[in-house]
Amino acid sequence: MEHLVIYGDFNCPFSALASSRADRLERGGTATVDWRAVEHDPDIPPTGIRVVDDVAVEVDREIDQVRELVAAGESFELRRPAVRSNTHAAVAAYAATEPSRRSALRAELFDACWRRGEALDERLLAGLGCEPSPPSSELVATWRDEWLGTGRPIVPLMVLADGYVSRGLGALARLADLLGT
């Protein structure tokens, strides 16, 4: 069984696809996944950025790219969110969650953003049973430092058991290969 470490951000549609594939690998018994949430764009204001005009064009372009990566028979859908969220609170809430519950929370956060188009804000986190303002944790800092230490910190980023680092589209292709799609 493969052991994968995957770094991703909840406001990234490429990370959403990586998360979906990671879930399928775990359910199929092909891999164990240690998902580490990171905030890849900390410059997004705490209230987020409305997805209109140029931002909407950029998000739609990313969604189109991800749709092209979906393999035949792979069920995966995306819709444009109303807001490109600052994911600081979502990353902190994820890290503060009991490890056995993280996979379900990760799926819910990606669904909220990319299937329902919701902002990843305090209201959503509270509705998911997360602390309203989870404390900043050593775990968040450790994940971020490890991710930044890879040399080219993009999301998604996957580290294989042998230490090989696969980034972005390469990570998505490797996940697809592991699924046999």
State the total domains in the chain: 1
Q: What is the CATH classification number for the domain harbouring 80?
A: 3.40.30.10
d(CA 27, CA 171): 19
Please provide residue 13's backbone torsions phi and psi, each rounded to the nearest 5 degrees: -65, -25
What range defines the domain where residue 80 resides? 2-179
Supply the pLDDT for residue 75. 87
Which pLDDT value is given to residue 131? 77
123-145: b (≥16 Cβ within 10 Å) or e = ebbeebebeeebeeeebbeebbe
**DSSP reduced 3-state for 152:** coil
Task: Report the distance separating Cα 154 and Cα 151, nearest Å.
Answer: 9
CB 121 within 8 A of CB 82: no
pLDDT value, residue 181: 78
10-residue block means of pLDDT along the chain (181 residues)? 96 98 95 96 94 97 96 91 95 94 96 95 93 78 96 96 95 95 78
Amino acid identity for residue 125 in this structure: L
Structural contact between residues 117 and 16, judged by C-beta atoms closer than 8 angstroms: no
Closest alpha carbon to 24 in 76, 63, 59: 76
Q: Shortest CA distance to 93 belongs to which of 132, 119, 123, 127?
A: 132
The pair phi, psi for residue 166, each rounded to 5°, is: -120, 130
